[in-house]
Amino acid sequence: MFRPESPSRPVERSLLVSLAFWFCLLTAAFLFGSVALASKLVIWHELELEATDQQQQLVTLERQVQHLDKIVHSLEHDKHFQAEIARREIGSTTAGTEMVIVDPSLQVDIRLPPIESPNIPLIVPWYVPVLRSLAVASPWRRRLLWMAAGLCVVAFTILRDRQGETVKSTAHRSSPQ
């Protein structure tokens, strides 16, 4: 049995065709954009890693400067500290002075403390290896560009909205000759 198409059928079909058209175009734009921006994103990621490394070095140097500032302040204002440093440098002790052995962590040490950098682990996101392969001329890059071009061709040839053509053909048939 033949059922005539309801007026909502062309609208539903037109909506689906329009959605498929835009999906193809957006997918093609994503593919082309990923190829076009891959090298820039790889450089950005490398610069971000370098900045993190330099930030860690800066924190270490700031800690060393703070330690040296404390030593300078103590040398300028604390007479007992000056005497202790001079005694250690010369290595002399006066007669009758008793030396008490103290834990090394409690001794006065003007040398720089051991470097305790914050060692932030450098985590490489999952997409960086993919971007590196897209940043250089490779078959994978070429395939993505061909897929983007193919999606554009499909969108503009197969998925174009034919509703305008239907209106023209209907108007042509109904016009008196």
Taking the C-alpha atoms of residue 105 and residue 134, their distance in angstroms, rounded to an integer, is 53
Q: How many other C-beta atoms lie within 10 A of the C-beta of residue 22? A: 12
pLDDT tens-digit readout, 118-135: 666 778 889 899 999 999
- Checking if the pLDDT of 67 tops 80, the result is yes
Backbone phi, psi, residue 21, to 5°: -60, -50
Mean of per-residue pLDDT scores for the chain: 81
Q: Would you call 158 exposed, middle or buried from its count of C-beta atoms within 10 A (0-12, 13-18, 19+)?
A: exposed
> Exposure pattern of 44-63 as b/e (b: 16+ CB <10 Å)?
ebeeeeeeeeeeeeeeeeeb
pLDDT score at 27: 97
Between 52 and 23, the more confident residue is: 23
pLDDT score at 173: 56
Helix (H) or strand (E) holding 38: helix 8-77
Taking the C-alpha atoms of residue 77 and residue 69, their distance in angstroms, rounded to an integer, is 12
Classify residue 105 by its DSSP letter: G
Q: Is the CB of residue 143 less than 8 Å from the CB of residue 46?
A: no
pTM over 0.75: no
Q: Is the CB of residue 117 less than 8 Å from the CB of residue 54?
A: no
CA distances to 14, 65, 135, 168 from 21, in Å: 10, 62, 28, 22
Stretch among 32-36, 53-57, 104-108, 133-137 having the lowest mean pLDDT: 104-108
pLDDT score at 87: 78
